[in-house]
Amino acid sequence: MKRSTLFVLAATVVAFSAPASAQFAKAEDAIKYRKNALFVMQQNFSRVAAMAAGKAPFDAKVAADSAAVAEFVGKLPWAAFGEGTDKGDTRAKPEIWKESAKFKEYADKMQAEMSKLSAAAKTGSLDNIKTAVSATGGTCKSCHDDFRKD
Ligand code: ASC
């Protein structure tokens, strides 16, 4: 086989067998990526949660914008939990990879509640926001309880 043919074959194998995590050059990049995405999500979520708790003045526009950012950014971390990203600067528990169906269920639930929060914030009703913040916060907590080392 010609070398150029071999190269094309090898490149094709790499391209099509690549898991979602392969978008990262190094495991540490994946870890940094998911932590940063979760941080940006948390900052936006907690801004809305502070309004819901009466710890910050309610600003409907800020709440709606923040919830929309949290909703979008909350979709990003999950592709960065690929194989080989369990070790390093991370509090991720090994259970994430052992009970991956359960982990995905939690991640999906969080995203569903975050979407509801974003929809609630668009209504401009603080009462709607309070209900959704509570449901969303519950999904953050249950995943941390089961899948994050403290
Ligand atoms: C936050 C944050 C969490 C959740 C959780 C809600 O702002 O960082 O992990 O809310 O505390 O129970």
Which residues fall within 8 angstroms of residue 116, CB to CB, at 6 or more apart? 132, 135, 136
Which pLDDT does position 23 carry in this prediction? 81
Alpha-carbon gap, residue 58 to 92, rounded angstroms: 34
Whole-number Cα distances in Å, 73 to 8, 39, 40:
35, 9, 7
If phi > 0 it is left, if psi is from -120 to 50 it is alpha, else beta; for residue 122 that is: alpha
Q: Which amino acid appears at position 139 of this protein?
A: T
Number of domains in the chain: 1
Which pLDDT does position 140 carry in this prediction? 98
Identify which of 39, 113, 141 to mutate to test ligand 1's pocket (most ligand atoms within 8 A of the CB). Answer: 141
In short, whether 140's Cβ falls inside 6 Å of ligand 1 is: yes
Which pLDDT does position 32 carry in this prediction? 98
CATH code at position 78 = 1.20.120.10
In short, whether 42's Cβ falls inside 6 Å of ligand 1 is: yes
Mean pLDDT per 10-residue segment, the chain (150 residues) = 53 44 85 98 98 98 98 97 96 98 98 98 98 98 96
Enclosing domain of residue 104: 3-147
**Token pair of 64, please?**
């709606």
Which pLDDT does position 16 carry in this prediction? 44
DSSP one-letter string for 63-78: HHHHHHHHHHHTTSGG
Which pLDDT does position 3 carry in this prediction? 56
Sign for the pseudo-dihedral over CA of 79, 85, 89, 94:
positive
